[in-house]
Structures are given as C-alpha cells and as structure tokens.
Structure 1
C-alpha cells in the first residue's frame, strides 16, 4: 500500500503497466471499469474450497478449525482454571448437578454463555468469580467462532452466508469442562462410551494429551491434537469417544452449539424437494434436549427415536 498521503493519487485501471507497483483500491472506480484489475482478483488457488467442509461433514462428521483468531492466551487461561478438578471433593460438590437440571458438576454441563459468571458465583461463591469471567469470555469467543463456522457451512450448502448464522443467532449454547484422570488400564475403562452429541455442532479444544477418537470407515481413528486448533464435530454424522491415558490426566473444553431453547427446528426450504423430502417433524430444541437427558442415550439413531416419540 502507498503512503496515506499518496493513496488518492493512484487509481488502478485495467491499463496499469507496472504490476509490481503497490496499489490501493478505489472502489468507486470499479463501476466504470470493463475488467477487474488483476491485482484485485483473488487467485483461484487461494480461494476457500466450499466443498471441503460439506464433504468433511458428510463423510467424517469432523474437521479441524485453524487460523480462527481466538486469543491463545484466553484458551490457556481456560485450561488453567480447570484446576477446579484438583480441589477437594467437598468443594467441587458445591456445584453438583441437581436432578432435572443440565448445569452442574459430575457428568454435567457448566452452563450457557449468558450466565456463566453468575453460575460460578451462585454455586461456588465470590472466590470463583474469576473462573466465571474466564469462561464467560471463552463462551463469547466460541460463540463468535461458531457463527463464522455456520456461515461457511451455509455457503457450502448453497444456502448463503446468513442462513445458518441467523438461525443460530442468540443461541442457548452450552459449555462443558471434561476431566479424565489417568487410568492404569485404559482398555478396561468404561468412560462415556461411543456417542454422538445431541447439539448441531461441537467445538472442542483438547489438551496435548489427546484421546479423542472418531469412528470412520468401520474403525476408530485417534485425532492427534494440533496446537491452536479446535475440533468441530457435527451431530448425526460423527460417532466419537474419549479414551483415557494411563499416565496423564486428560482435559478438554467442549462448546455445544444450540439454537434458542424455544426455537423451532425445521429444514431449510431450499434443501427440500421431491428427491430430498424432509425426514423429521418440526420440534423445539428444548424438547429434544429433554428427550436426550431423560429418555434416550444419544447415538446415531437418536433423531429417529425422537421423531417416533414425538408422534406417539
């Protein structure tokens, strides 16, 4: 780019001779140009491949998210705050999950993005406000990232950038902190077992211990942690499981992307036709969440079981 004082003097045109000259784009000029100046054309080999996320979702149900712009310092603070799991059991049980609720300690969720800080203070006391602030900020960063992912998925489905982003705007997403103590015989540990998350998308940050496996091509594959990358898991097409380590504790932070609780989930009309008829009835996310928490373990057939349950 030329110095600020010189930018107004340079107006690129299709007749520009020196292709190496630094140039500034005056958008008003483009309307009168018959050809886009070559220096402002996005090289084909650098353009994002919109078929890639669609193929990843269909074939594997999982993909890595890199170059996302999330502050690595924030992610580091979020992992440090997971020292919560090293506290005395009597302290941790202050946040114990109550029957009928989704928030809480012991195989439960920490809370939704809008109430994380208040949640920590209300169940653990003022000394834990810092924890709440860190995870509040983390949730906000994940929510922003999830909207960007939704834009990309919307484009790959030829729905446009805004469709899925708007559908999930103002969501009631959920944060979950996972801690897996070391186990001397990992192969014998029951754990959570193979499952699919009931939410639309899971953005997972796993530490460098690793342990996440996905089922593809009739076998389990371990996903090697990539520093700074998040794992995106799509519901319905990604069966996965965590595997414990025999020497080190494993920790991960999962952000489950959900719609608003009272949002009606319905297929995009642009994707429904004679060749691709709709499969499931409309439903509220709150109803589906209740079904997965009280009536049916989440797996690859949950939506079918839920549809049958709704229509009884």
Structure 2
C-alpha cells in the first residue's frame, strides 16, 4: 500500500522510479488542444435524424478513433455524483481503501497503482480501482462499502453507461451494414469499470499518468471532469483533448477495429499529469467474453467482395498478446494483420 501515490504526502519531487527516459517523457513543450474532435449530439430522447447520427459516429470512429458525446441520456447530476464518489474513495484513510489493495491482476475488485508495479522498470503517476459491474447483482457485493453511497451511485452509473455503450455499438454496426443484434451477449458480455486518480505531480514534464496505448476492448466510455489530461496521437504529433461540459468521451478499441475489418480504428492515447490539480476519471470498458472469436465480420468481407485484413483469434489470446505487446512496445493489432499481395 505504501506504493499508492494518493497515500504519500512527501512527494516534493518526482521519485527516480517514475522518471521516464528522455525520448518517452512528455517534456516541457506545451501540447496544443485539438479543437476539431467531433462532438456528436446523440439526442437520446429523440434521435430525429438517425441516419445522420449514425453517419457522424461512423465518420468520427474512422477518422479519429474517438469523439465526445452530448445528450447521451446520463444526467449531469448523475455524472457529478459519480465523479464525487470516486474522488471520495481515493481520499479515504489508507486503512479503509487499503482493504481493496492487491498486486494480483486477477483480483476481482482491486485497488492498485501504476499498471503492474512489481513488473515495471518505470512507474506511472496513477492509482486505480477496477472491478466488474455486469451483471450488477453478481458483483456489487464485492465493491467498496465506503463511501456509504459508493455502491448506489456506481451501480446506477454502470447500468446507464452500459446501455449507452450497447446503443453506440448498435449504431456503429448499423453504419457498417451488420445485421441487427450483431454485438450480442457474447461480444459484449464483460463490463469493467475503472476509477483513475492522478494526484498533482511535482514535475509533469518527467512522468505520465498512463503511457501511450490503445484500448484492447470493443468500446470505452470515459467520464472526465474539468481538468484536462488526455492526449492522443495524430499524424505523429500529440494533441490534447479539451473536456466538453456535459459530454462523455468515447474511444474505439482494438477488438472493434478488427471486427470492423479496419473500417473504424483505435487511437493511441496517453494521460499527462498536472502540477496543481488532481484529476479523477471513471471509465467503462465493454469486453467480449474470453471464449469469443475476434475476427473481421463475415458480412464485411464476403458480401462486399473484399478480404479479411486480420486473422481470427479468441479474445483470451487477443488480450494475452496485447499485454505482451504493450510491455515490449510493439504495434497492436498489426500482429494479427494478414499479408497483402
């Protein structure tokens, strides 16, 4: 537990174990905000222009791999409560939140720091609480009991954000021409929630909250507050994401890129720290079941006279390879790309 950043009060400089090499640290150069990230009005209560919304989502997923979503059906009050309870958890006394600390990645409800602290040569400026949340009744009893309203607020949010994620996947499938219900229970069986906490950092130029990566899953929906920190790579340059009031950020995952046969793409992104302010976010990750087959949808290959760009693989093996490639800094999912004539 002594490794938790949020539990240390003596950090007036960045410890050597968090200092990245010169070619991987963010440095002191200011990264500009990219003001052209699509902001899509979902109009959840009345999607009056469904083809238009589908077109916007598909274009954003193809061109950027991420977009911000407004009028998504989750109230401002619910989002504020979710961020508030997440912050309260990380500010709990060590003896309380430490009940959930574990260095075992297989632990169901787990508080940890960085990514895999004991395996890393360099650590990242983040504490995280991660747990499954679907089906809700199978998991909520393992969640933190403190703050008192944690289970109620996080349970309600996870249920609503799952509905939203499935709606988005349905709209993307519709735009790709896939059959209704393509993203069925098998491909969307697992939902993980991650509460990320990035305390103020003495020198943000030396370290990162999270290293450059793409999400392995199908789709990620991120609730972030007012403090920016997310950056994405575009044409070889890092660009910052300015949080849009009331919006949720949507990321396309590697698994969805493969299933779409490259029609939508994952974006490489990272998290920087802030010298003055803490940053807390809540991310919902939709994963296929481990025994699901990850491969280009046949309709996108057979019905269109095309060819698959990726090999077929079980999601279990897909994730295992992703973890190895992440540690060895190899491109992913290019490992599964088929050779072209």
- TM-score category by the smaller chain? 0.7 to 0.9
Distance 1:297 1:181 in 2: 24
Aligned residues: 263
Q: Which residue number corresponds to residue 212 of structure 1? A: 230
Higher relative CO (CA 8 A, sep ≥ 6), structure 1 or 2? Answer: 2
Q: Deviations over 1:175-197 (max 9, x none)?
A: 10011011132111233211111
2:131 to 94, 111, 118: 111
Distance 2:147 2:312 in 1: 40
Q: Which residue number corresponds to residue 190 of structure 1? A: 208
Larger relative strand fraction: 2
Structure 1, unmatched stretches of 5+, are 1-43
Cα contact 2:140–2:155 (8 A) shared by 1: no
Q: What is the Cα deviation at residue 48 of structure 1?
A: 1.7
Q: Which residue number corresponds to residue 26 of structure 1? A: none
Taking structure 2 as the reference length, the TM-score comes to 0.68
Distance 1:115 1:168 in 2: 15
2:221 to 195, 200, 203: 203
Cα contact 2:133–2:139 (8 A) shared by 1: no
1:245 to 274, 282, 285: 274
2:292 to 260, 263, 267: 263
Larger relative helix fraction: 1
> Aligned runs of 1:1-312 on 2, under 5 Å?
48-82=52-86, 83-101=88-106, 103=108, 104-107=110-113, 110-114=130-134, 121-122=141-142, 124=144, 126-127=145-146, 130-164=149-183, 168-169=187-188, 171-236=189-254, 237-273=266-302, 276-293=306-323, 295-297=324-326, 301-305=331-335
Q: What SS class does the counterpart of residue 246 from structure 2 fall into?
A: coil
Q: What is the Cα deviation at residue 219 of structure 1?
A: 1.3
Bigger Rg, structure 1 or 2: 1
Cα contact 1:204–1:252 (8 A) shared by 2: yes
Q: What is the Cα deviation at residue 59 of structure 1?
A: 1.7
Taking structure 1 as the reference length, the TM-score comes to 0.74
Segment drifting more, 148-157 vs 181-190 = 181-190
Segment drifting more, 66-75 vs 247-256 = 66-75
Structure 2, unmatched stretches of 5+, are 1-47, 114-127, 255-265
Root-mean-square deviation (CA, aligned residues, Å) is 3.0
